[in-house]
Chain A
Amino acid sequence: MYNIENIRKDFPILSRKVNGNPLVYFDNAATSQTPQQVIDCIVDYYSNYNANIHRGVHSLSQEATDKYEQARKTIQQHFNAKHTHEIIFTSGTTHGINLVANGFSSLLKKEDEIIVSALEHHSNIVPWQMLCNSTGTTLRVIPMNDQGELVISEFDKLLSTNTKLVFVNHISNALGTINPIKYIIEKAHQVGAAVLIDGAQACPHIKTDVQELDVDFYVASAHKMCGPTGIGMLYGKEEWLKKLPPYQGGGEMIAEVTFEKTTYADLPHKFEAGTPNICGGIAFGTALDYMNTVGFDTIAAYENDLLQYATKKLLEIGGLKIYGTSKQKTSVISFNLEGIHPYDVGTILDKLGIAVRTGHHCAQPIMDFYKIPGTVRASFAFYNTKAEIDALVEGVKKAKMMLS
């Protein structure tokens, strides 16, 4: 039996008040909250073994290095990568995408094509646009339908032997739609294209097995899954990571430097120039341990229950429309009240202590598709409750009354 009260005790922030009301935190798709276990890990690092890694001969450095590399192993096991060196620490999902985009700039030709989806976050559109601008490569887009799902038959038509790369998010951040990535990867591989999956929104809900998916690149951020900000990971198949040139030059990423020539370090260090976010990396590992202790199956079942409950309750409010109604979706509800700007709804909810996201959610093409300025987005995590959803529903009713 899932003990929600015990889970909530792990998150100190959940007991604070905002604007005089108990905090109801429904902006989990933007960033998740941090359990005491992760906070303790960060305090422990700076209190007991803060040191630069990989180089130091002294004990502190060795300790920090061991913990950092242990975290890499934890991440490898969590995503079921074949090798530890296929896990590259990044500053987050955006960094991982840029690293791959940059790497491909030297591998693409003018006649090549890149496919992205209409459901992408700006961070999975802009780097590819920049890449296409510099290489002359064409960017093609998989369209979406009214339910907020990708039109997969159109994807089939876009694929050709010119397709070199396919980039799709695992789950849409604006709508919560779970994309059929296994199918996309299989089809892309049939024409010899590489696939990068943006897992930022999937990682807090789904335990991804990169080998089973046979995906070429998978990126994620720690702060979406109970870890700190400023740290994330890029998984890349060994053969691809060997093929891509380094992203940034500096310390850590070299084997030997003379003024004539630099030999790059082996994986994963080739892509990890400079002193990394050591504490963040270690805390990322602790966050994964925490989530795995709760259990991803448990999390998925509980969150789905919250999603169904919230969907039903919100739809009872007259004039409320939900965007993104796929049957395959995670605990994200994007909605608007008829004739009312999402920003206004968000402002009133904030006054009630309810944190939601308003705006275009860095996915303007989706908003253009629906011809709306943005939505109110409530995203639920495994530490939220039905009582909090009731507070949201009451808050939305109040906003409607005040703003109509």
Chain B
Amino acid sequence: MIVTIEAIQNEIIDEFSMFDDWEERYQYMIDLGKELPLIDDQYKTDSNLIKGCQSKVWVHAEMKDDKIEFTADSDAIITKGIIAILIRVFSNQHPKDIINADTNFIDKIGLKEHLSPTRANGLVSMVKQLKMYAIAYQTQLN
């Protein structure tokens, strides 16, 4: 059975609620970054690069049993942590659930500052890119 996107988001909100300050939050993200499901080197191509990031972010998507599996990498560890959180939420989900998911949880875990579209880390671009993959695969399914 699939754990729903919402359930995973709530799980993450719970985890982050244990932290007292930014330092603990960021340390946790850095640790998450170290556990990120790494993209296979063959997919670390320019076409898989997400634009709008000061650090490099590669994302690869594959369809397995009607669900999308994401892998990624970045040359910056905090960015890696952010993308690890996103992948935990969106990977192994049906495309339509990814398309319909909201991302308010980012606000709730104290990373709102990274959500601004003008922010150089491009969290917004990352979310957009994951959803674009979902739209593309959904079109194939239809």
Contacts and interface: CB of A to CB of B under 8 A. Distances in A.
Interface stretch (A171-179, A283-291, A303-311, A340-348): A340-348
A340 B22 CA distance: 20
B35 interface: no
A348 B76 contact: no
Query: Chain B interface residue count: which class?
Result: 10 to 19
Interface string A142-168: 000000000000000000000000000
A373 B56 contact: yes
Interface in B102-126: 120-121
B26 A343 contact: no
A358 B77 CA distance: 15
Interface string A357-368: 011000000000
Contacts of A110: none
A374 B120 CA distance: 13
Contacts, number: 42
Contact of B55 (A348, A373, A402, A403): A373
A347 B113 CA distance: 11
Contacts of A359: 54, 120
A402 B27 contact: yes
A351 interface: yes
Interface string A181-218: 00000000000000000000000000000000000000
Contact of A373 (B75, B77, B78, B120): B75
A402 B54 contact: no
A351 B120 contact: no
Interface string B10-38: 00000000000011001100100000000
Nearest to A351: B22
B71 interface: no
A344 B78 contact: yes
Contact of B77 (A19, A351, A374, A403): A403
A340 B26 CA distance: 15
B79 interface: yes
Interface in B67-81: 75-79
Contacts of B26: 347-348, 351, 402
A358 B76 CA distance: 12
A343 B121 CA distance: 8
Nearest to B74: A341
Contacts of B27: 402
B30 to A, nearest CB: 6
Given A373-B56, A374-B54, A343 B78 contact: yes
Contact of A358 (B22, B23, B54, B75): B54
Given A359-B54, A373-B56, A403-B30, A343 B22 contact: no
A60 to B, nearest CB: 38
A341 B23 contact: no
B81 to A, nearest CB: 10
Contacts of A340: 77
B56 A344 contact: no
A340 B74 CA distance: 12
B17 to A, nearest CB: 19
Contact of A402 (B30, B56, B76, B120): B30
A343 B30 contact: no
Given A359-B120, A373-B75, A403-B77, A343 B54 contact: yes
Top 4 A-B residue pairs of the complex, sorted by shortest distance between their CB atoms: A341-B76, A343-B76, A343-B55, A343-B54
Given A359-B120, A373-B75, 13 more contacts: A341-B77, A343-B55, A343-B79, A343-B121, A344-B78, A347-B78, A347-B121, A348-B78, A351-B26, A359-B54, A402-B26, A402-B30, A403-B30
23 contacts: A341-B55, A341-B77, A343-B54, A343-B55, A343-B76, A343-B79, A343-B121, A344-B76, A344-B78, A347-B26, A347-B78, A347-B121, A348-B26, A351-B22, A351-B23, A351-B26, A358-B54, A358-B120, A359-B54, A359-B120, A374-B54, A402-B27, A402-B30
Interface of B: 22-23, 26-27, 30, 54-56, 75-79, 120-121
